[in-house]
Each structure stands twice: as structure tokens, then as C-alpha cells.
Amino acid sequence: MNEGNNSNDTRKEPKNSNEFEKAISDQDIKNDGKQISKFPTHVLPDVFLKLVKECENTLNFPPDYIATSILSAVSTAIGTSAMLVVKTGWNELAVLYV
């Protein structure tokens, strides 16, 4: 079976990196025809914001992809070792469903 030459495959490879970035960007900002707001990277701690900006500038990764990955990793690392006591009987763990 030749997977590389499938005549039923309608996917198109981007011709250059700008076309690839545009494809991702167009896909990311559409939500029922409305533009969705950008990920609020300004609320991240400086060390995470620096990492997000480095990945965005050097690897052309969208900042929301990096930021959600960082938040997921931090949430996993914290696990059940810390919790927020909102009020008596109401405790919240550092759990994110990403």
C-alpha cells in the first residue's frame, strides 16, 4: 500500500511557511463566523510570558498553544499538593481540563 500517493487524499501541503501560518491563523480565529478573542498572555507570570514569546518568535507557534501547554504542565505538576480554600467546605484543586 502506497500511503504517500493516495488519489482520494484532498489535503494540500502548504507551499511556504507564510501559507502554513495563514492556514493556522484563519482556522484559529473563526468561530461561527465571529472572531474569538486572543489568549490573554499578559496575565502569565514573567517567566512563562518570556517562554511564550520566545516560542512565538523563533518557532512561529501561536501563543495560545504554548500558554495552554504550560498551564496544563503546571497544573499536572501541582497535582493535589496544593488547593485553594474558597470558603469553608469549598476546596478547589489546580485542575485544568485542556
Total-model pTM: 0.56
Is 50 contained in some domain? yes
**Number of domains composing the chain:** 1
Is 62 contained in some domain? yes
Is 46 contained in some domain? yes
Q: Which domain holds residue 73?
A: 38-93
CA gap 50, 82 in Å, rounded:
25
Q: What is the mean pLDDT of the chain?
A: 78
Is 98 contained in some domain? no
Is 9 contained in some domain? no
Is 12 contained in some domain? no
Is 27 contained in some domain? no
Is 84 contained in some domain? yes
Average pLDDT over residues 24-42: 67
